[in-house]
Amino acid sequence: MSDEKQSGGFSWFLAGLGLGALLGVLYAPKAGRETREELASSAREGTEYLKQRSREAADQVNTYVDRSKAQVSEYVDRGKEYVDRGKSQLNDLVSHGRHFVNEKGERVQAAVEAGRQAYRSTTGTEGVASEEPTHL
């Protein structure tokens, strides 16, 4: 909001400068040479003012750019942390899932083997080689 006020104030300054120069030429009680010197002096002052304001505006823009870069960098770092944390959690879940599947697979394999042993003991084929495949 203050930038808008400064910009508006600057516009009014330029308008006033031009109007003042015009009125000064029209109603000047001075000679043409003196009037020209005064106008040139006013123009130089206006030019210096514009240069100073431009430098201030450039400094302010640089400040905003630096702040924006810092914020973007902070957001990127925060995003990387979230991604790393998510990867870690995913790896933990996959590891737990593999462990669970291996454990249950071993139990199923043991149950199948126990079933085969029970079948063999009830059919009386304990010492005979089985024609059934030994893996699932």
The pTM of the full predicted model, rounded to 2 decimals, is: 0.43
Q: pLDDT at position 75, please?
A: 94
pLDDT digits (tens, 9 = 90+) for 73-126: 999 999 999 999 999 999 999 999 999 999 888 888 999 999 999 898 888 766
Q: How many CA atoms lie within 13 A of 13 on its CB side?
A: 14
Better-scored residue on pLDDT, 45 or 1? 45
Better-scored residue on pLDDT, 134 or 19? 19
Local confidence band at 17 (pLDDT 50, 70, 90 cut-offs)? confident
Residues 6 or more apart whose Cβ sits within 8 Å of residue 28: 34, 35, 38
- Neighbouring CB atoms inside 10 A of 106's CB total 10
